[in-house]
Chain A
Amino acid sequence: MSKRLVLEESAGYNQSVIEYIHRASATGLYEIRGMGAKRRLPSFDDLVFLAGSASRYPLEGYREKCSTKTILGTRFAKRPIELATPITIAGMSFGALSANVKEALGRAATEVGTSTTTGDGGMTQEERQSSKTLVYQCLPSRYGFNPDDLRKADAIELVIGQGAKPGGGGMLLGQKVTQRVAGMRTLPVGVDQRSACRHPDWTGPDDLAIKVKELREITDWEKPIYIKIGATRTFNDVKLAVHAGADVIVVDGMQGGTAATQTVFIEHVGIPTLAALRQAVDALEDMNMRGKVQLIISGGIRTGADVAKALAMGADAVAIGQGILYSLGCNSPSYVHKGQHIDASADYEKIGTAAGYCHHCQTGKCPVGVTTQDEILEQRLEPLTGAKRVKNYLKTLNMELTTVARACGKSNVHHLEREDLVALTVEAAAMARIPLAGTDWIPGHSSGY
């Protein structure tokens, strides 16, 4: 008779932690990877809507109109941006993504009437041509940043930080720094490219105010200027961004993605999107700037429900990065080539992962051709196919958003409000400052009953 094995996993030293220690011990290296935080965090999943019933009057789900029109940049810009939906595409660089992908995003955004955004490394011709509304990022590295593209843009996003790595600069490993990427960034081909974590020509908030004015002067006060911050001390940072003269503030929570950064950053720096959003809204309300300065929230927005909850909490719009990549086929077991589904399992295996678990954007060997500069791999994502998928995804989110809004009795998605929400967990109630379901208890703010 064989002896029964008793296997008791340690909570502190579980398989994942043991694997981390073994790997660190064997290599002396920290892990660099793509995508966002994988740990469980309080999120929009921890909120639910209180829809109409006897005390609230719902709208009919299909026939009654529910507006999704969204206007951004009304504070100072002569030409605010008008979008058909509050769901926008977040900044992701050509370099991290292929030119095909950038083109696909532009096409999809144009078809659904929303905006897409450049990234570190500048604006490609493909994305400008395919995007009706393009937001041009001004990043600390200033790679590829120039006045001609600045004038071609529809809005400018001055990036201070990113939710996946607030306080950290970007990186693009040598395998993705091809001739074209290097040329756009004025770098030698194949270097492990670093992006600075601070801007080169301003430091504090008072300097930032002058920098914002310079960008306005150069573009003759026509274009909305966004300021993007990675979520940390969000209440203060949002106030400083308002002080600096932002038309729009983008807050990126710690669930936000990246093309490559240290895992320790992704999992341990910054605050969850839920907490950041409430702090940002509080800051705007404290300054009486709600509605005057628009707020975009990003970092882990995946579904129409997430969008609706973000808007109810006070955001004017959302920006999506990772969800868009998944929509393109990221982590799918196959890719579509000439209408045929081709199995990519072997290519996932080659980079040590499998579909559903991949976060290997940093390798440039994306099995489905999304986060690559490889001439062969990038052909796995055809711009038209990609555009159709992203368009479908954005349309679905928009329909889910309006479905929830109608159920809450709103004929405009921007009329969703905090009172429409309750929290399912104590943590979410505390962070979002929304009462725990079935009570009026907000931890730290009201005693409840």
Chain B
Amino acid sequence: MESLDLRTISVRELNQYLHKELPGKDIGKVEIFNPDGAHNIAAGMDCPVEISIQGHGGYYVGGMNKHADITVHGNVGWGVAENMMSGSVRVKGFASESAGASGHGGTLIIEGDASLRCGISMKGIDIVVGGNIGNFSGFMAQAGRMVVCGDAGDGLGDSLYEAVIYVRGKVKSLGADAREEPMTEADYVAVKELLGRAGFSHDPKEFKRIASAKTLYNWNADADQEY
């Protein structure tokens, strides 16, 4: 295990080490101390390694991650795991806006709440949120799954494509073209598997499924832009 202290090295030095030196070493785990809300910690990871961030992270923690399993023992700022391709990011606390934005793959787990636009433009990532999610979450989400154990804010799933959102609590309002659909056996299996991955023990039967009504897939002039 390697221990690195962000009070003695810069984020730039940290990331250079993680990108350039770490892949050639036989190190299974890296612990990062004193993150103190710094931005871009462990952005651009491209190797299988466990990274443990001991404190709060700023913007874009684990941005564009491939292969690495990152745990933040604290809260994070905007865009945690944005555009993630594979691996995982777990936030033990809360996440600010745009968590998992445009993620292609991997798993993002937020044990607390996630703020506005969680899962915006997601492209295949799996997101599990232990608490609530803010307004406009899942906007233009293209593929992947989002499981919300708490409530969802206004405009959930606006302009959804093929992504599916499962919500256990209340949905304040749905966005354009999003609709509630009956849960199928496949949905129960998916929710159970995702909850298990996140370490939550809720009953999948408590969740509802939100998906695209697909009325925006091809433009309808008669709708007069009132969706």
Picked from B85, B221, B222, the residue with its CB within 8 Å of the CB of A147 is B85
Nearest CB of B to A205, in Å? 14
Stretch at the interface among B36-44, B49-57, B107-115, B202-210: B36-44
Does chain A have a CB within 8 A of B173? no
Does chain A have a CB within 8 A of B117? yes
Of listed B15, B121, B162, residue having the most chain A CB within 10 A: B121
Does chain A have a CB within 8 A of B64? yes
Q: Which of B1-47 contact A (CB under 8 A)?
A: 11-12, 15-16, 19-20, 39-40, 43-44, 46
Does chain B have a CB within 8 A of A174? yes
Residues of A within 8 A of B120 (CB): 200-201
Does chain B have a CB within 8 A of A29? yes
User: Of all chain A residues, which has the CB nearest B102?
Assistant: A142
Does chain A have a CB within 8 A of B78? yes
Given the known inter-chain contacts A29-B221, A174-B218, A210-B59, please indicate yes or no for A194 contacting B159, CB distance below 8 A: yes
Does chain A have a CB within 8 A of B90? no
State in angstroms the CA–CA spacing of A157 and B48 once bound together.
29
Count of residues in B whose CB is under 8 Å from the partner chain: 44
Whether B12 and A142, one on each chain, are in contact in the complex, defined by CB atoms closer than 8 angstroms, is: no
Residues of A within 8 A of B12 (CB): 217, 221
Nearest CB of A to B36, in Å? 15
State in angstroms the CA–CA spacing of A276 and B60 once bound together.
33
Whether B219 and A196, one on each chain, are in contact in the complex, defined by CB atoms closer than 8 angstroms, is: no
Whether A191 and B217, one on each chain, are in contact in the complex, defined by CB atoms closer than 8 angstroms, is: yes
Q: Which of B155-174 contact A (CB under 8 A)?
A: 159, 161-162
User: Of all chain A residues, which has the CB nearest B220?
Assistant: A192
Does chain B have a CB within 8 A of A219? yes
Whether A146 and B221, one on each chain, are in contact in the complex, defined by CB atoms closer than 8 angstroms, is: no
Does chain A have a CB within 8 A of B140? yes
Does chain B have a CB within 8 A of A75? no
Whether B83 and A145, one on each chain, are in contact in the complex, defined by CB atoms closer than 8 angstroms, is: yes
Of the four ranges (under 10, 10 to 19, 20 to 34, 35 or more), the interface on chain A belongs to 20 to 34
State in angstroms the CA–CA spacing of A134 and B90 once bound together.
35
User: Of all chain A residues, which has the CB nearest B20?
Assistant: A220
Picked from A142, A147, A185, A202, the residue with its CB within 8 Å of the CB of B78 is A202
State in angstroms the CA–CA spacing of A236 and B20 once bound together.
38
State in angstroms the CA–CA spacing of A145 and B78 once bound together.
19
User: Of all chain A residues, which has the CB nearest B61?
Assistant: A214
Nearest CB of B to A55, in Å? 52
State in angstroms the CA–CA spacing of A28 and B223 once bound together.
10
User: Of all chain A residues, which has the CB nearest B79?
Assistant: A201
User: Of all chain B residues, which has the CB nearest A221?
Assistant: B12
Residues of A within 8 A of B19 (CB): 220
Whether A187 and B11, one on each chain, are in contact in the complex, defined by CB atoms closer than 8 angstroms, is: no
Residues of A within 8 A of B75 (CB): none
For the residues of B in contact with A, the DSSP-based class is loop
Nearest CB of B to A202, in Å? 7
Does chain B have a CB within 8 A of A27? yes
Residues of B within 8 A of A150 (CB): 64
Picked from B97, B104, B139, the residue with its CB within 8 Å of the CB of A186 is B104
Residues of B within 8 A of A185 (CB): 142
Whether A147 and B60, one on each chain, are in contact in the complex, defined by CB atoms closer than 8 angstroms, is: no
Residues of A within 8 A of B124 (CB): 186
Q: Which of B189-227 contact A (CB under 8 A)?
A: 217-219, 221-222
Given the known inter-chain contacts A142-B102, A147-B66, A188-B161, please indicate yes or no for A207 contacting B43, CB distance below 8 A: no
State in angstroms the CA–CA spacing of A200 and B116 once bound together.
11
Picked from A27, A142, A192, A220, the residue with its CB within 8 Å of the CB of B15 is A220
Does chain A have a CB within 8 A of B128? no
Residues of A within 8 A of B222 (CB): 28
Does chain A have a CB within 8 A of B129? no
Residues of B within 8 A of A202 (CB): 78-79, 98
Does chain B have a CB within 8 A of A213? yes
Given the known inter-chain contacts A192-B219, A217-B15, please indicate yes or no for A201 contacting B161, CB distance below 8 A: no
Residues of B within 8 A of A187 (CB): 142, 161
Residues of B within 8 A of A220 (CB): 15-16, 19-20
Picked from B20, B85, B162, the residue with its CB within 8 Å of the CB of A146 is B85
- Map CB proximity to B onto A176-218 as digits: 1 under 8 Å, 0 otherwise: 0000000001111011101010001110000100110110011
Nearest CB of A to B146, in Å? 14
State in angstroms the CA–CA spacing of A194 and B64 once bound together.
23
Does chain B have a CB within 8 A of A141? yes
State in angstroms the CA–CA spacing of A267 and B12 once bound together.
45
User: Of all chain A residues, which has the CB nearest B63?
Assistant: A214
- Map CB proximity to A onto B122-153 as digits: 1 under 8 Å, 0 otherwise: 01100000000000000110110000000000
Q: Give 19 A-B contacts (CB < 8 Å), ordered by A residue.
A: A29-B221, A147-B44, A147-B46, A147-B64, A191-B218, A200-B102, A200-B120, A200-B121, A201-B79, A201-B97, A201-B101, A210-B59, A214-B39, A214-B43, A214-B79, A217-B12, A217-B44, A218-B63, A218-B64
Residues on B facing A (Cβ under 8 Å): 11-12, 15-16, 19-20, 39-40, 43-44, 46, 58-60, 63-64, 66, 78-79, 82-83, 85, 97-98, 101-102, 104, 117, 120-121, 123-124, 139-140, 142-143, 159, 161-162, 217-219, 221-222
Residues on A facing B (Cβ under 8 Å): 27-29, 141-142, 145-147, 150, 174, 185-188, 190-192, 194, 196, 200-202, 207, 210-211, 213-214, 217-221
Known: A141-B121, A207-B59. 20 other contacts (CB 8 A): A29-B221, A142-B123, A146-B83, A146-B85, A147-B44, A147-B64, A174-B217, A200-B139, A201-B60, A201-B79, A201-B120, A202-B98, A210-B40, A210-B58, A214-B40, A214-B59, A217-B12, A217-B15, A217-B44, A218-B43
